[in-house]
Structure 1
């Protein structure tokens, strides 16, 4: 057997061939087999086991250790790799020779298997004494590689493999003897680098270096480290480069997150998202900064709009429309810009959608120079949908803009106020034929219905249907007139029949119409009663328009006026001069309406009437007459009425509807619960109503008191702050 071991040593040193012959192998195997299978005292199994161990130890002490002792640095690593390779060859051949011993004696005595015994010998005599030195050398090489130097990666991998092979393929040796020191050295390295980079580099440059480092560490694992190291390695690297400096990176002066958002640095923002997504609460940090930035941008828009409304210097020379409408336009642009960040840079992450929504809710509910956001949105829609507002825009642009308006509407709390303002403006567009495109009107209603439900658009859909029906009705009326042989009548009459409840409330008054108008009204009444015997017409003259031809000295001019203005002008067909009191008496008109109408005809842009005395104030002592010398370069002019502030009326109507909604919500909740504590009732009421508006807690309390007085509810006499439902 000693001869076999000696031959094996010579083979490892390249002296005596490359391997054993078959005869040599069979001879050695047979010898050992015979020594292990004889009966005591001629069974040499125990002695052979010890001799196997002794042979390995002798070889290591006589050959391996002296060779390693004279080597340092990378040369030590190369020598170790070579000696380990030889040792594995020796163990493999010896375990073949001693296979019978390993198979029966070792297993029967529960001894360490021969292969494992061979590894243990190398560990005890060689590796255990060198492992600290080896780890130090490896760490130095890896640090050099991080600094840009080329190293022998194959050599590093071979040495790392020794850690793993001695550990029988596991990481029990690798982790404590190498990985722990390696991870600590990594965090120390990147801690120093991060401090330097934060001082020297901008935020984008720092993140670029951080991402590059992370990628290189992943490559490092792939090339020569165990796969289990990757998670720990990247975690430590992220801790030093990103986690510990998250706020500092995001808020870095002149290059932080807000600057990147302002400058549209999509690539850098995407990199920021990728990096911060890997750390705990990273998304929270970035989304918080994102939300604060968007909110500040929105508040800046508010300030600019307020300055423009107050007559301050307007920095936007291209501004079109009122400051409120321009504000809505800028809000839409702001949302488009930052929604693109959410989708393209922040990978459509829900937390950023929520941050964007919260930021817009913060400033979209604020008034713009005394104009509520609901009114501003309604005015913006009106500017898009009315004639003259969207002719220059393609159908696709209009639809896209309306989509964005609906999105902005989701951010405001007073959606019911928007509905009422929009309904008012929709009514004027429909009644005065000012709508640019009925398809756009219908599409907007469809979008609103989709987002907020059918109750949101029910009345407005009814308004559109009324106008559509009215067109058919008008054709039938004209046919009726032809059959009645009234075609020679000098007045063309168009009537729009509205459904009570769908439309906003309009001012009505029973003024005395001129005979020409009375005849028109009576004709339509006869027609309508022949078709609808069960319905009663209520005439709203305040919403009517008339085209009349006035003959002045210079030329006849067609005047486009309201029904009230027309009735007033027609009085002068029978009288050259009329006093204020005569006009009011003949028309049976309230004073406030008379003052507005007379002002529009005698004191405004078009002075159809002459007033005595000739000042700008209408008084009961004034006298009026036709201005025969009136002329204009146009042959057709519209005589406008002074504008009226409808905002107060709209708000009053909405507040009234809100009281009904709160009552209905309270009763609905109490009917299902029967008994409820005050705080819980208020909370559920707020939750139910918040889809349309944000109810005032004080108003809810008042409505509860009112319902108690009307015996819908009662207070529980035994439990404080508790209500009972009365069936």
Structure 2
């Protein structure tokens, strides 16, 4: 039989435990030569074990659980609190860290002694663990008393750190670790976890957030008064960077978003207008002075805060618009100063204004991509600024006309711009990008088509590949329906060259058909080309024979096409036999036909010329003006003067001479702009009709406002439709019975199938 175990009474057992606790307290006080050996440790553990496993009424588990807490509380009250109350400032922090460290050691040892309680009694009763009881004891008796003072001291130390003073960062971290550990229930949450940070959040973080606000509010007011915008932003960026580093040094990671929001709010959000509009150094000045680094810093800073970038982008937009409008005014002034010389005006507008606009766009696009990191807000700001500038007229010329003229100048053989192939390609790219800002894109297309036609017909195009390259870019942006005709024009020119080669071979193989003069004909497809003025001019016999021979040849090639001769676009070489020397004259077909009349007569009146040529009076006036009143006076006019009248009489000027042996006699420029604009307006009417019918066909019934809005949206890709024109087209469609007014719904329309 096993002998019965001796009963340990509560007082006797606890007396033994108090001796062990006293030894533990001496160890924590760093007394020399004091320690636990394995025998003493086992004796204490066994005492607790026996007292908890004795049969009732001698099972002292509950009493030992209570005495465990009493022992901790007694140690804190008699030893920890008196020591803490004697310390201030950093010394208080060090004492707190030391006492918390010792307290955890004490809990660790006591938990070992009382382990049997944790393992069985506490788990069965669902009581707080010994470790939880120990931590709660320290929190209630020590932390709650000193937390306000400790928080104030810590925040003061952090402010010193912000001012550049050297502080004990390890101490601050250790103190804050006390907050973090006490926030967590050791029985549930592992130490260091991000969850369960109630004490850290309430007792430190909230006060620290307010301290940060106070600190940076004061500094921001001082800096913004004393520093320039770049200096202020540099200080703000450095401060924010240091705050981020501060988190890594001694703050919990959960503090970073709160800390950064507080600092950014005071440094940036609350002062955004004062920073951007700082006199002599704000955002506008940085743009004017091309301060790339400062603008990049401004973007980085204001992208941190909510709604920080819109004010910056609006300032950017306003600045770009002002610079663009300044260029516009300069172009208008330049045009006004040269209003007497139309050629000079066009040159100034093309080269000075258009090139500057392209350079301006390049410059500020570089800002958008570089300084503003390709942000959509700044792309939008740039677009809106250029839409304002690029849709203004310059001295009566629309931007559509100007950019078409600029393309003509760089694509034309011997044009004003002398550019390499790479530079031409680059400039075409720039022009197409700018065209996206122009509302009347269809007007540009028509101007460009007209100028392309002249380049091709008069062999002025520098390079077919570059012409096709521009069409490819336009097709990409505007769609194939707007470039198909121009692509057809280029194809026509290739076919025309083949036809001319076959014609020349035909003449060579049939010498009897050879006309007295050489003839070159370009056969084109009517639908691709702009409409050109034609007339049934009475050609001289030499020219008539050429035309007849070509007609007979072309009928052998195809019998299914009708040829319409456009003599107004033709040109010819005529030799004038003047007294001084013969001179080769490069003239239009009309000019050549008129000059050949003087082979049969020395003097001709205006009416005789009109009758013999069968030309309109307007065309006859233009031709006669070029030959008698302009630079080259090949005909003498009676009476003399600068204008042509029906009573004038003309005779060949035998005494005319020039230092050149070949001269080109230009016609006075005709006003094609009005015709182009009229053609575009006609096309727009068709486009609006088609859009309205397309919309109504799918919707059947639609309110007026909705129909107009959707029509504008559909057509705005190519032009900005006029609301009044849309209303007129709706009325016209009602008249033509495509639509009718809805009897059941006011101000609505119904589609008629």
Q: TM-score, normalised by structure 1?
A: 0.97
Root-mean-square deviation (Å): 1.8
- Closer/same/farther in 2, CA of residues 391 and 376 from structure 1, 3 Å limit: closer
* Residue 433 in structure 1 maps to residue 459 in structure 2: yes
* Residue 280 in structure 1 maps to residue 302 in structure 2: no
* Residue 258 in structure 1 maps to residue 284 in structure 2: yes
Q: Take 1:668 and 1:101, find their aligned partners in 2: how far apart are those partners? A: 86
User: How far is 1:312 from its partner?
Assistant: 8.3
Q: Take 2:228 and 2:210, find their aligned partners in 1: how far apart are those partners? A: 27
* Residue 671 in structure 1 maps to residue 687 in structure 2: no
Q: Take 2:664 and 2:621, find their aligned partners in 1: how far apart are those partners? A: 19
Match of 1:72 in 2: 88
Q: Take 1:536 and 1:201, find their aligned partners in 2: how far apart are those partners? A: 80
SS class of match (1:501)? helix
Q: Take 1:619 and 1:133, find their aligned partners in 2: how far apart are those partners? A: 107
Question: Does the CA-based 8 Å contact 1:584-1:590 persist in structure 2?
Answer: yes
Stretch moving more, 97-106 or 483-492: 483-492
Q: Take 1:360 and 1:457, find their aligned partners in 2: how far apart are those partners? A: 24
Match of 2:604 in 1: 578
* Residue 361 in structure 1 maps to residue 382 in structure 2: no
Runs of 4+ displaced beyond 3 Å: 16-19, 486-490
User: How far is 1:46 from its partner?
Assistant: 2.2
The number of equivalent residue pairs is 723
Q: Take 1:439 and 1:391, find their aligned partners in 2: how far apart are those partners? A: 18
Question: Does the CA-based 8 Å contact 2:703-2:749 persist in structure 1?
Answer: yes
Given candidates 94, 106, 128, the residue that maps to 2:144 is: 128
Question: Does the CA-based 8 Å contact 1:391-1:436 persist in structure 2?
Answer: no
Q: Take 1:89 and 1:718, find their aligned partners in 2: how far apart are those partners? A: 89
SS class of match (1:310)? helix
Q: Take 2:346 and 2:247, find their aligned partners in 1: how far apart are those partners? A: 60
Q: Take 2:536 and 2:520, find their aligned partners in 1: how far apart are those partners? A: 20
Match of 2:50 in 1: 34
Unaligned runs of 5+ in 2: 1-16, 185-190
Match of 1:223 in 2: 249
Query: How does 1:461-500 map onto structure 2 within 5 Å?
Result: 461-486=487-512, 489-500=515-526
Match of 2:10 in 1: none
Question: Does the CA-based 8 Å contact 2:338-2:345 persist in structure 1?
Answer: no
Match of 2:107 in 1: 91
* Residue 311 in structure 1 maps to residue 337 in structure 2: yes
Given candidates 182, 187, 193, the residue that maps to 1:166 is: 182
SS class of match (1:506)? coil
User: How far is 1:389 from its partner?
Assistant: 2.7
Cα deviations across residues 301-337 of structure 1 (Å, max 9, x unaligned)? 2111111111189xxxx99922244222111111111
SS class of match (2:337)? coil
Match of 2:667 in 1: 641
Question: Does the CA-based 8 Å contact 1:325-1:376 persist in structure 2?
Answer: no
- Closer/same/farther in 2, CA of residues 503 and 28 from structure 1, 3 Å limit: same
Q: Take 1:106 and 1:472, find their aligned partners in 2: how far apart are those partners? A: 106
Given candidates 437, 446, 451, the residue that maps to 1:420 is: 446
- Closer/same/farther in 2, CA of residues 312 and 223 from structure 1, 3 Å limit: farther
Q: Take 1:636 and 1:722, find their aligned partners in 2: how far apart are those partners? A: 68
SS class of match (2:438)? coil
Q: Take 1:241 and 1:521, find their aligned partners in 2: how far apart are those partners? A: 83
User: How far is 1:78 from its partner?
Assistant: 1.1
User: How far is 1:214 from its partner?
Assistant: 0.8
User: How far is 1:287 from its partner?
Assistant: 1.6
Question: Does the CA-based 8 Å contact 2:537-2:613 persist in structure 1?
Answer: yes
* Residue 446 in structure 1 maps to residue 472 in structure 2: yes
SS class of match (1:232)? helix
Given candidates 226, 229, 232, the residue that maps to 1:206 is: 232
SS class of match (1:67)? helix
Match of 2:134 in 1: 118
Stretch moving more, 111-120 or 399-408: 111-120
Question: Does the CA-based 8 Å contact 1:463-1:502 persist in structure 2?
Answer: yes
SS class of match (2:483)? helix
Given candidates 149, 152, 159, the residue that maps to 2:165 is: 149
Question: Does the CA-based 8 Å contact 1:387-1:435 persist in structure 2?
Answer: yes
Cα deviations across residues 604-640 of structure 1 (Å, max 9, x unaligned)? 1111112222221212222222222222121111111
Match of 1:188 in 2: 214
Match of 1:604 in 2: 630
SS class of match (2:131)? helix
Q: Take 1:479 and 1:722, find their aligned partners in 2: how far apart are those partners? A: 66
User: How far is 1:58 from its partner?
Assistant: 2.3
SS class of match (1:42)? coil
Question: Does the CA-based 8 Å contact 1:320-1:326 persist in structure 2?
Answer: no
Question: Does the CA-based 8 Å contact 1:707-1:713 persist in structure 2?
Answer: yes
SS class of match (1:322)? helix
Q: Take 1:44 and 1:376, find their aligned partners in 2: how far apart are those partners? A: 103
User: How far is 1:599 from its partner?
Assistant: 1.0
Q: Take 2:392 and 2:636, find their aligned partners in 1: how far apart are those partners? A: 46
* Residue 632 in structure 1 maps to residue 632 in structure 2: no
Match of 1:684 in 2: 710
